[in-house]
């Protein structure tokens, strides 16, 4: 036994820590992260998964790639545009830049000209008002649910929130509108039935005990058949007669109508039709960061902004920066994916399929995120064996396909065209793993 144990050649911890690149990473990532990574790499070499003379290189490579988060970027090949499990809307390049810029000290609540404190988030507010002319004022909070809680609390705590039985929805993951309203100290006053609600149903219950009328967009289902609902325009006169605020919870965050989604309400139309205030999410069809957007009449928005709860749901500077950039910038990825040209999608799918010997099939994408239920987004998918789905998810880059009918489908609608080469490489690697 005069052969040297190869494990003795594995570089020692102190030697690795002293490498210039590693020393710099200790300042950037922290001692704990760097030591853990060094130890893991040495362990891989001890198990024989890595040659001893590769340890140094492997440590440096991993440190340079270390993102400070274990969240992994995923190529969304499902065709679902607003994918809740993938964090809803991906940000535009402009929004990412804005977010990075806002990472340091920024004048989020300061007037640099006078040196005095200013209102918070004036730039995001201005961008929203420019994009939604019928709105007099705007307020940004943490998410759509918070916007709704703030509105019902500020307008109706101790009073009644009048809402149609056809709009008592569960959004997802157990988030139920009636529970949410009950938690605010407002009482829910249900009117009408599941399928039909009339103007007189509202009229019968309005009075001094009414805090507000709430119209909720049932974003994730449709009722067909013998149905009736009261539109905002009709509710407007009733609300005026009883001097109660009319709130519309729109959900999706469209600021103006989109011809592709005729059933989807938008803020401009809802306010023009008579809502005093609307609430919506920032990270659905608006295509921005997680946020709750309140738009509407100055008097009502001010009541919400001045309520003590507003402080508990206020948006952070990163959100405000990314939202401003989204609203005032070029079409964000969500909008581009929704309006993707089917011919271009087909060409891209054929290129990918041709490179790996697969076929292209017709495939409908979806809006997702509980929006525009039943609205298909016609497109194409590359059809692969189902077994390739798991290696795709675990590959680098991670790819999330749609598994359907015993096949693994790759819909390129939500994959940026610039990532087609990376996707192809990931597909080749995944196919290799199952062959």
Ligand X SMILES: *Cc1c(COP(=O)(O)O)cnc(C)c1O
**List of residues contacting ligand X (CB under 6 A):** 143-145, 148, 171, 216-217, 219, 249, 251, 281, 292, 370
Nearer to ligand X, 245 or 371 (CB): 371
Dist. CA 287–CA 320, nearest whole Å: 14
Separation between Cα atoms, residue 161 and residue 190, nearest integer Å: 8
Q: How far is the CB of 384 from ligand X (least distance, A)?
A: 32
* 392, 284, 330, 297: CA torsion to nearest 10: -170
Cβ count near 21 (within 10 Å) = 12
At residue 141, the 3 state secondary structure works out as: strand
Kindly provide the residue ranges of all beta strands, DSSP E only, lying in 306-348, ordered along the sequence. none
Q: Smallest distance, Å, CB 143 to ligand X?
A: 4
CB of 103 to ligand X, least distance (A): 23
DSSP-assigned letters across all residues of 293-314: EEEE-HHHHHHHHHSTHHHHTB
Residue 128 CB, shortest distance to ligand X, in Å, is 16
Cβ 187 to ligand X, closest distance in Å? 19
> Closer CB to ligand X, residue 281 or residue 319?
281
The order of strands in the sheet holding 377-385 is 74-77, 398-404, 407-410, 377-385, 359-368, 80-82
Which residue number, 41 or 143, has a Cβ lying nearer to ligand X?
Answer: 143
Least distance in Å: CB of 341 to ligand X? 28
Nearer to ligand X, 176 or 404 (CB): 176
Name the burial class of residue 270, with classes exposed (0-12), middle (13-18) and buried (19+) by CB atoms within 10 angstroms of its CB. Answer: buried
Pairing of strands 160-164, 246-251: unpaired
Neighbours of 294 (CB within 10 A): 28
In the complex with ligand X, the residue whose CB is nearer, 368 or 379, is 368
Q: 132 or 392, CB closer to ligand X?
A: 132
């Amino acid at each position: 036994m005069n052969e040297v144990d190869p494990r003795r050649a594995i570089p020692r911890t102190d030697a690795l820590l002293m490498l210039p690149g590693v020393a710099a990473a200790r300042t950037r990532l922290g001692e704990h992260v760097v030591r853990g990574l060094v130890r893991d790499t040495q362990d891989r070499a001890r198990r024989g998964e890595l040659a001893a003379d590769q340890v140094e290189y492997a440590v440096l490579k991993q440190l340079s790639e270390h993102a400070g988060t274990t969240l992994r970027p995923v190529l969304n090949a499902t065709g679902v545009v607003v994918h809740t499990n993938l964090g809803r809307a991906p940000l535009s390049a402009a929004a990412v830049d804005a977010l990075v810029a806002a990472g340091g000290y920024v004048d989020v609540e300061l007037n640099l000209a006078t040196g005095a404190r200013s209102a918070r988030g004036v730039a995001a507010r201005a961008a929203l008002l420019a994009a939604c002319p019928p709105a007099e004022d705007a307020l940004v909070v943490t998410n759509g649910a918070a916007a709704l809680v703030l509105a019902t609390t500020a307008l109706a705590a101790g009073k009644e929130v009048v809402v149609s039985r056809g709009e008592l929805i569960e959004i997802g993951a157990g988030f139920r509108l009636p529970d949410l309203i009950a938690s605010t100290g407002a009482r829910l006053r249900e009117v009408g039935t599941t399928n039909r609600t009339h103007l007189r149903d509202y009229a019968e219950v309005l009075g001094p005990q009414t805090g507000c009328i709430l119209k909720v967009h049932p974003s994730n289902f449709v009722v067909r058949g013998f149905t009736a609902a009261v539109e905002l325009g009709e509710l407007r006169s009733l609300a005026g007669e009883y001097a109660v605020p009319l709130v519309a919870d729109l959900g999706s965050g469209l600021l103006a109508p989109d011809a592709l989604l005729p059933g989807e309400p938008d803020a401009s139309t809802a306010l023009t039709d008579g809502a005093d205030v609307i609430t919506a999410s920032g990270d659905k069809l608006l295509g921005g960061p997680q946020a709750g957007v309140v738009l509407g009449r100055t008097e009502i928005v001010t009541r919400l902004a001045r309520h003590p709860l507003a402080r508990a749901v206020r948006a952070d500077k990163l959100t405000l920066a990314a939202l401003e950039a989204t609203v005032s910038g070029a079409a964000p990825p969500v909008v581009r994916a929704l309006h993707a040209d089917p011919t271009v999608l087909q060409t891209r799918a054929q290129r990918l399929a041709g490179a790996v010997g697969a076929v292209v099939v017709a495939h409908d994408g979806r809006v997702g995120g509980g929006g525009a239920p039943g609205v298909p987004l016609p497109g194409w998918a590359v059809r692969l064996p189902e077994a390739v789905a798991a290696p795709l998810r675990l590959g680098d880059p991670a790819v999330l396909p749609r598994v359907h009918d015993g096949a693994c489908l790759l819909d390129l609608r939500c994959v940026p065209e610039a990532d087609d080469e990376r996707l192809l490489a990931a597909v080749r690697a995944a196919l290799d793993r199952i062959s």
